[in-house]
Chains A and B, each alone.
Chain A
C-alpha cells in the first residue's frame, strides 16, 4: 500500500479515536452519547458479521442472537474471578470451571467457541436454502437459548441465573478498538478472492459452481466466520451489560440486527455501521422525549406517554423501508471522497451562480 492511501485510511481512524478520547475527557460519563457509542459499536460488529452472511454470501440466516449468546457466555464463564465464583454460582457449588483467562484471550475464545458451534450447526442447516435456512437457524438459536438455561448444565452455565462480576470495560475506546479490528478483518475478507467467491454464490449458485467454487465449503466458511464475529460481539455485549442471562438473547435481538442490516443496505459494510449507530441512537436516546408525559403550559401534549417512542420508531422504520428500499447505502460503501463528490455535485453549482450574480 502506498503512503497516500495509508494516510487516507489511517488518518480518519486516528482522528476518530482522538475525538472519542477528547469526548470522554470532557463530557460527563453518564451522557447518553456514550451508551449509543458503546452499544452502537457492538451492534455494528454484529450487523457487519450478519451482512457478511446475508448480504455478501446470500445466506438468509437468523441465528445471530444464539451465536452472540454463546460468545457472551464463553466470555463470562472464562473470566469471572475465582474468588467471585462461589457467590455467582451459589446454587452450583461455585461451578466446575476453576480457572480464568485474560480478557483478550477470553474474547478470542468467545469467537472460537461460537465458530465451533456454528460449524457443527452449519453441517445440516446449510443444505437448506432461503426461507428454510432462516427458519432452521432461528430454531437453532432458540435451542441454544434453552440449552444454556438447562439446570443440568448449571455448573458451567449457571442455569437460568445471571453470570456477573466478570471484567468489563468503562472506556468507549475499548469496544471501538475491538469492533474496529474485527470489521477491518471482515472487510479484508470481503475484498479477497474468497469474498468474490461469496458474492458469486450470492448472485448465482449454479454459475458459481460451474466456475469451480465448492458451494458447501464456501457457505460453511462464511457461516462459521460470521458466527465467530457474532460471538465476539456477544462477548462485548456481555461486558457492556456487565451481566449475562440467556433469557435476554431472544429472536428480537436478531431482528434488531437484521433491521440494522436492512436499513444500512444489504451488502454494505459502512451502511451497517452507520445504521447501527442511528438505530441505537433513535431507540435509546433521541426518541426518549416521546415517552414522557409533557405539558406545554397547562396543555398536556396528546399521545406522549410511555411506549409511544416505539410507535414512532416503527413508523420511521416503515418509512425508510418504503422509500429507501435498498437501505441508506444500498450496496455502495461510504467514503470521504464520495461524500465530497456528493456535496460538490449538490452545492457546487449554486456557488458558481452566486459568483455570477
Chain B
C-alpha cells in the first residue's frame, strides 16, 4: 500500500532521516518505535507532505506522492493524527470534525454517525469547544477528525502522549477497532510495549535509520529491544 524507498530528510539543518525504506501492507497495523529524536515524527510529517524530503521516494497505491502538498495527500487517502493532538481549541467538537472532512463535498451525516458510534463521548459534547475537553477526549477528537476524511491510511503520532494509563488502553482499543473496520494504520510510539502488542509489524528507528524489523511479537521478545525500549 505504502512504499517508502531510501527516504532522506533534512530538518532543522540536520539530516534527521538518513535513508530509510519500509512498506505497509493494506489492512495492517505497522508501528515505528524509537527514542526521542530518532526521526519518527519527521518521517511521518514527510509522508503527510508537511515537509519535503531531500531524496528518496514515497509511493502510495502505486502512485508516486513524493513532495506533493498536504491537501493532495489527504485527498488520496492518507491522514495524520498529529503529535500533541492539535485540536482546534476555539472550535466546537462538531466543527473540528467537519474540518477533518474539509476536502470532501458530499454529505457528512453518515460519517458523523460513524464517528459518534466510535466515540459516544464526542456526541455528548458535540457543542462544546474543543479546548474544554479532557486530554483523552481531545485525543479521541483528534482521531475522529482524521477519520472524517475517510482515509485509507491513518498515521498516528504518539497517541498515548501525556494520557493516563487507563485512557491509553482505551485509545489502543479504538485503534484496533478502526483497523478492524478496514483502515490501515501507521503508529508512532514511545510507549513501545503497547505499540508492539498492537502492531502486526514493527520497525525500530535509531538516529535516522531503521535498525531492526520484525513482527510485533518478535520485537517484544528481542533482547536488544527489551533492554533499550521496554525497560526490562
Known: A196-B95, A199-B95. A210 touches B80 (CB 8 A): yes
Contact status B102-A207, CB under 8 Å: no
- Choose the segment among A211-219, A271-279, A340-348 that binds chain B (4+ C-beta atoms closer than 8 Å): A211-219
A-contact 0/1 string along B79-117, CB 8 Å cutoff: 110100011111100010011101100000000000000
Contacts of A106 in B (CB 8 A): none
Q: Which residues of A contact B48 (CB under 8 A)?
A: 210
Tell me if A197 is interfacial: C-beta within 8 Å of chain B: yes
The 8 closest A-B pairs by CB, nearest first: A212-B74, A207-B86, A203-B88, A212-B71, A212-B103, A200-B99, A210-B80, A204-B86
Chain A residues with CB below 8 A from B80, complex form? 210
Mark interface residues in A207-230 (1 if CB within 8 Å of B CB, else 0).
111111110000000000000000
A149 contacts B by Cβ under 8 Å: no
Residues in chain A near residue B100, CB distance under 8 A: 211
- Which of A206, A211, A214, A331 sits near B99, CB closer than 8 Å? A211
Contact A212–B91 (Cβ < 8 Å) = no
Does A159 count as interface, using CB distance less than 8 angstroms?
A: no
Are A203 and B82 in touch, CB under 8 angstroms?
Answer: no
Give every chain B residue within 8 A of A211 (Cβ-Cβ): 74, 79, 99-100, 102, 145, 149
**CA–CA, A270 to B73, complex, Å?**
38
**B95 partner residues in chain A, CB cutoff 8 A:** 196, 199
CA distance A69 to B107 in the complex (A): 43
Q: Mark A230-273, 1 if CB is under 8 A from B, else 0.
A: 00000000000000000000000000000000000001000000
A268 nearest CB across to chain B (Å): 12
B149–A212 contact, CB under 8 A?
Answer: yes
Chain B residues lying within 8 Å of A199, measured Cβ to Cβ, are: 88, 90-91, 95
How does the 8 Å CB contact mask read for B198-216 relative to A, with 1 for contact and 0 for none? 0000000000000000000
Smallest Cβ-Cβ distance to A215: which chain B residue? B70
Does B74 lie within 8 Å of A207, measured CB to CB? no
B70 touching A267, Cβ below 8 Å = no
Q: Which residues of B contact A193 (CB under 8 A)?
A: 98, 102
- Given B71, B87, B145, which contacts A214 in the complex, CB threshold below 8 Å? B71
Q: Is the CB of A209 within 8 A of B70?
A: yes
Which A114-128 residues sit within 8 Å CB-CB of chain B?
none
Residue among B70, B74, B79 facing the most chain A CB atoms (10 A cut-off): B70
- Tell me, yes or no, whether A202 is within 8 Å of chain B by CB: yes
The residues of A that contact B103 with a CB separation of less than 8 Å are 212
Beta-carbon contact of B99 and A196 below 8 Å: yes
Of chain B, the residue at the smallest CB distance from A216 is B69
Q: What is the CA–CA distance of A209 and B71 in the complex, to the nearest angstrom?
A: 7
Residue B75 is within 8 A (CB to CB) of chain A in the complex: yes
**A residues whose Cβ falls under 8 Å from a Cβ of B:** 193, 196-197, 199-200, 202-204, 206-214, 267, 331
Shortest Cβ distance from A204 into B: residue: B86
Is B50 in the interface zone, CB < 8 Å from A?
A: yes
Taking CB atoms, residues of chain A closer than 8 Å to B88 are 199-200, 203-204, 207-208
Q: Which residues of A contact B90 (CB under 8 A)?
A: 199, 202-203, 267, 331
A residues in contact with B73, CB < 8 Å:
212
CB B98 to nearest CB in A, in angstroms, measures 6
A-B contact list, 23 entries, CB within 8 Å: A196-B91, A196-B99, A197-B99, A199-B88, A199-B95, A200-B99, A203-B90, A203-B91, A204-B89, A206-B82, A209-B50, A210-B48, A210-B74, A210-B79, A210-B86, A211-B74, A211-B100, A211-B149, A212-B75, A212-B149, A213-B71, A267-B90, A331-B90
Q: Report whether B87 and A207 are in contact in the complex, using a CB–CB cutoff of 8 Å.
A: yes
Q: Could you tell me the distance in whole angstroms from the C-beta of A304 to the nearest C-beta in chain B? A: 44
- Closest Cβ of chain B to A325, distance in Å, is 16
With known contacts A193-B98, A196-B95, A197-B102, A210–B89 Cβ distance under 8 A: no
Q: Which of A200, A207, A267 contacts B82 (CB 8 A)?
A: A207
Q: Quick check: B50 and A212 within 8 Å, CB to CB?
A: no
Are B50 and A208 touching (Cβ within 8 A)?
Answer: no
Whole-angstrom distance between the Cβ of A116 and the nearest chain B Cβ = 26
Once bound together, how far apart are the Cα atoms of A252 and B91, in whole Å?
Answer: 33
Most buried by B among A204, A209, A212, A331: A212
Q: Which residues from B are CB-within-8-Å of A267?
A: 90
Neighbouring B residues of A214 by C-beta, 8 Å? 69, 71
Expressed in whole angstroms, the Cα–Cα distance for A331 and B90 within the complex equals 9
CB pair B98–A206 under 8 Å, yes or no, is: no
Distance, CA A210 to CA B148, complexed state (A) = 13
Residue of chain A at shortest CB distance from B96: A200
Beyond the given A193-B98, A212-B70, please list 13 additional residue pairs across the A-B interface where CB-CB is below 8 A: A193-B102, A200-B91, A200-B102, A202-B90, A203-B88, A206-B86, A207-B82, A207-B87, A210-B80, A212-B74, A212-B75, A213-B99, A214-B71
